[in-house]
Amino acid sequence: MAEAMKMRATMEGNVADVKVLIQHPMDTGTMKDSKTDKLIPAFFINQVVATLNGKTVLEAQWGVGIAKNPFLGFRVNGAKSGDKVAVNAVDNLGNKYDGEVVVA
Amino acid sequence: MKRILTFIMAVLLLGCAQKGPTGSNSGPEADRDALINHYKQIFPDIKFEDYIYGALSMNPDAKGQYDDIMEFPPYSMDLDKGQKMWETPFKNGKQFSSCFPNGGKNVAGNYPKFDNAQNRVVTFENAINDCLKANGENELEYGDKEIGLLTAYAKSLSDGMKVNIKVEGAAALAAYEKGKEYYATRNGQLNFSCKSCHVQSAGKFIRSDQLSMMIGQASHWPEFRSGTDIVTLQGRFKQCEKNVRAKPKAANSEEYNNLEYYLTYMSNGLPMQTPVFRK
Amino acid sequence: MNQLRRSFLKSAGAIGSFTIIASILKPATAIAAAWNKLAFTSKEPADAISNAGYGGATESGDIMIKAPDIAENGAVVPVSATSNIPGTTSMAIFVEKNPAPLIADFKFSNGTEAYISTRVKMAKTSLVRVSVKANGKNYTNSREVKVTIGGCGG
């Protein structure tokens, strides 16, 4: 099964630069399926939490306006190589998407 | 005065190069040189190597978005699917890599090639399907999402390879000339040819889209358009034909294969990169 | 393995409230979270802004927004923002002319910089607004991004 989340984390001076990509349609609920002419229901990641070595560093609420296969970049001060960054996301149907990376 | 003379010379050269197939006395390389000169006139500040970026090379704001997105493209996981297809063994235990020299690395730049035995142009997708057939597997549908994902990964194994299309022998030249003629033939309700837009009007705008130059177009297909929709080169031919309100040909038709042969030759010398984001 | 639980977090002095409960490693059914539905479904930018708790904001050039002048494709517009205002604890992105202007709301903690990079959808030419909460006050900045109808999209 292809992974749902890819992550990269590299040190830039004292700051860990973290990049996350999640595979998700982020359907807005306002588009029609061209074949059935029916509305495609809203289906989107609405919450994301990022932790560094288990401590929360970022909490996000998302709406349908985030682009498909969402990208998120954030930076954590005071991190160091070897630290573990985890991202846990949930969509509006309760599906979970988890990823983890060691800071390079 | 000098500029006018240079312009006239460029037009004459281009005129000579674009003569009909029977009247042409310039080979493919002369055609390519003439086109390069043409684009150098229109885009004096764009380096030849940057022609692979097409309209992005003309607009830093657009190129900036491309660079941002390419840093971690939205299609990353889709590319993994292509990799899985490439690496999954056939029922007989062999893999795609066994059908190509070098395991498939640095080969895509040689396609399309002209096969004298079959007397036809052979595209990379043809080679993929030949491989499937030779190993007792079902062929993939041309222009379809599956073959798009597979070739998006397979061709990435040739990233950096310079496009290296050969036109050798009378039969190959005939196919090249057919592709060249198709390129220059007006079509559709809007009565445009590929040449109308991408040679004569390169750099100009159609509504808000800036027209890319023909040289450099074929080096980066398939593409993930809008970041997530896989489109093969011949899939794009269909879209462009529809845009001029012409009836598109089928993927893997003789017309499109010859067109791809001609078009890819014009990207000779430029480095491949597959897949890429385009809007 | 750690089991991490978040409890209610209220942002002080704001009209709306930002709450998030995330339970990692728990079975899917047990996740309870209060997604700010009111703010995310507000149709008017002013409502989205105030319902997200960013009303009454002072304009500030210390919020840097990086976004294109003209979006290549409104479905995927790279936007990044940095707040140089000391004490920034949260940041929200709005696309004012979108049917639902609130795009995302971020809360920074434990050393995370007031910086976000993401890609947004834009329905049409619009101000992209970034608002932040810092030391009990709201600040905002915006930048126009044009969205055009192409001629050659496939």
State the CATH number of the domain containing residue A42. 2.60.40.10
Phi-psi sector, C25: left (phi>0), alpha (psi -120 to 50), beta: left
Number of domains composing chain A = 1
Q: How confident is the model at residue C106 (pLDDT cuts 50, 70, 90)?
A: very high
Q: To 5 degrees, how large is the angle CA B40–CA B43–CA B47?
A: 75
DSSP A39: B
Of B65, B235, B239, which is closest to C78 when you measure between CB atoms? B65
Whether the CB-CB separation of C76 and C20 falls below 8 Å is answered with no
ipTM: 0.96
Residues B242, A1: Cα–Cα separation, whole Å? 36
CA distance C55 to C69: 26
Q: Do C76 and A67 touch (CB under 8 A)?
A: yes
Tell me which chains share at least 3 CB pairs under 8 Å with chain A.
B, C
Chain A environment of B80 (Cβ under 8 Å):
2-3
pTM for this entry = 0.87
Contacts of C154 in chain B (CB under 8 A): 225, 229, 231, 235-236, 239
Q: Is B72 on the interface with A (CB under 8 A)?
A: yes
- pLDDT, residue B38, reads 98
Mean pLDDT of A5-27: 97
**Which residue of chain C is at minimal alpha-carbon distance from A47?**
C35
3-state secondary structure of B257: helix
Interface of chain A toward chain C, CB-CB under 8 angstroms: 15, 19, 26, 28, 30, 46-47, 49-52, 54-68, 70-79, 86, 88, 90, 92, 94-96, 98
Per-residue pLDDT reduced to its tens digit, B263-277: 999 999 999 999 999
Give the Cα separation of C10 and B147 in Å (integer): 51
3-state secondary structure of C87: coil
Instruction: State in words which class domain B1-279 has.
Output: mainly alpha
* A67 and B CB contact within 8 Å: yes
Task: Tell me: pLDDT of C11 over 60.
Answer: no
**pLDDT, tens digit (0-9, with 9 covering 90-100), for B72-128:** 999 999 999 999 999 999 999 999 999 999 999 999 999 999 999 999 999 999 999
Question: In this complex, which of A54, A57, A88 lies closest to C22 when CB atoms are compared?
Answer: A88
Tens digits of per-residue pLDDT, C113-129?
999 999 999 999 999 99
- B240 catalytic per annotation: yes
Which of C34, C37, C5 is CA-nearest to residue C22?
A: C5
Cis status, amide bond into B28, omega within 30 of 0? no
Which helix (H) or strand (E) element contains residue C141? strand C137-147
On whether the CB atoms of residues C59 and C24 are closer than 8 A, the answer is no
Phi, psi of C55 (to 5 degrees): -70, 165
Residue C89 lies in a domain: yes
CA A11 vs CA A79, C71, C80: distances in Å:
8, 30, 19
> Which range marks the domain in which residue A31 is found?
5-102
Chain C positions touching chain B (beta carbons under 8 Å): 68-73, 75-78, 119, 148-154
Tell me the C-alpha to C-alpha distance, in Å, between residue A40 and each of A43, A44, A46, B191, C69: 8, 12, 17, 37, 31
Q: Where are the domains of chain B?
A: 1-279
Q: Return the SS3 of B137.
A: coil
What values do phi and psi take at B53, rounded to 5? -90, -5
Q: Determine contact: A59 vs chain B, CB below 8 A.
A: no
Q: How many CB pairs under 8 A join B and C?
A: 57
Boundaries of domain holding C101: 56-147
pLDDT band at B208; cut points 50, 70, 90: confident
CA distance C127 to C69: 11
Contact B74 C119 (CB under 8 A): yes
CB C121 within 8 Å of CB C75 = yes
Q: What tokens does C96 get? A: 């004012």
How many structural domains is chain C composed of? 1
User: To the nearest whole number, what is the mean pLDDT of chain A?
Assistant: 96
Cα separation of B93 and B83, whole Å?
17
For the domain that residue C65 is a member of, what is the CATH number?
2.60.40.2470
Give the three-state DSSP class for C39.
Answer: helix
Dig out the tokens for B245 from the structure: 């309100």
